[in-house]
Structure 1
């Protein structure tokens, strides 16, 4: 299904699964469920083409400190990305995939521009579980470990931020046991509804960056309302 058809579609993908505050599925239609009131996290499960994965490996090898921040017009993403991304083998396949995500995100929320950040990471940028204060962020990990998150039934929100009393996430009582921590896979498209979404104050999706071992890398893209 084309991204432009997402918002107008009332068809729910048959393979989607709903539990607690989150929904997962393997077709783009699942992204529209972010508009459902109890839902604050949606995952579109997908696999990446080999060319895209190969480009990300080359990006890690050749540009280990790559950090791109830009505001892109949804009408000309391919041209903009071609000028912003390193010219490595597989660039066109990577740009095609990234432009698809931009198209889906902008159509879903009726955006003329999208705030994009693409980074090669060697550490957890947000190591503690938290919620975002914005409307809804898209996160997708192109290389390495995916985002970790907690369902509403597996989190004590009073332990977020200063409520942890200086204790680590696994010591504070934020979640009952390690099995409560869930993780997106490489290639998955994750929508994280934040506290800034209308009527969602204090109910944003609880998530964090995964801890990385020495030498481990990630390539992560985030998209926000511009």
Structure 2
């Protein structure tokens, strides 16, 4: 386990990072900018996809599917994973497009695919992901929250929080430091396994739980 002194030293040495947000899908290519550790495409879901998701949310009690999706068979593989749900063609097509974008952007032959229906906080405490890069999007419910690198004290992550909630641990100075994605936003989160980003991974968390809310969350990952 690292000492607090070492964690503090790494925090001081961490290069500045920022988020990049826009209404065009092309913003996702900014993830290759060394100064960017989060790229967010602020998109609006079509009425057809929204209706598809709303119908599913009303009747579903559980969904947690994980799979490998092949770049050469994306729609077939996605359709196979969702065949036991009421999610229809519009949702499958939209999701397949995201997988295709992820594969193309990073030149991947297959990706790790996971889709979950959540009615409790998944990661309510701020953390980093020990992956190169992860795609996250919420089709229903609140979006993921993040902190800009210039507003946080990384020594308060993990054990450094001493078990305290983010709001009192000293991780960030004010509640205004918390930024939130909205339903439909597509984000690329650069993790600590991205070369050169070991000490600067984006710090993020699940949004606060709202009673009765169901979140439909999709994540895509590199495969080892």
TM-score of the superposition, structure 2-length normalised? 0.89
From 129, 135, 143, the counterpart of 1:138:
135
Output aligned runs, 1:62-77, within 5 Å: 62-77=59-74
The 1-side partners of 2:95 and 2:66 are apart by 14
The 2-side partners of 1:45 and 1:37 are apart by 21
From 45, 48, 55, the counterpart of 1:48:
45
* Secondary structure, counterpart of 2:167 in structure 1: coil
From 175, 178, 184, the counterpart of 2:175:
178
The 1-side partners of 2:207 and 2:61 are apart by 18
More moved, 93-102 vs 60-69:
60-69
- C-alpha displacement at 1:20, in angstroms? 5.5
TM-score of the superposition, structure 1-length normalised? 0.88
- C-alpha displacement at 1:134, in angstroms? 0.6
State the Cα deviation string for residues 40-78 of structure 1 (Å, max 9, x = none).
000011000112112222222222211110100012111
The 2-side partners of 1:118 and 1:111 are apart by 19
Structure 2: segments with no counterpart, 5+ residues = 1-15
- C-alpha displacement at 1:173, in angstroms? 0.8
- C-alpha displacement at 1:154, in angstroms? 1.3
The 1-side partners of 2:89 and 2:71 are apart by 17
C-alpha RMSD over aligned residues: 1.4
Asked whether 1:216 is paired with 2:213, we answer yes
Aligned twin of 1:150: 147
Asked whether 1:22 is paired with 2:19, we answer yes
- C-alpha displacement at 1:38, in angstroms? 1.2
State the Cα deviation string for residues 157-185 of structure 1 (Å, max 9, x = none).
11100111121100011011101100001
- C-alpha displacement at 1:87, in angstroms? 5.1
Output aligned runs, 1:75-154, within 5 Å: 75-85=72-82, 86=84, 88=86, 91-154=88-151
Asked whether 1:195 is paired with 2:192, we answer yes
Q: Is the 8 A contact 2:40 2:187 kept in 1?
A: yes
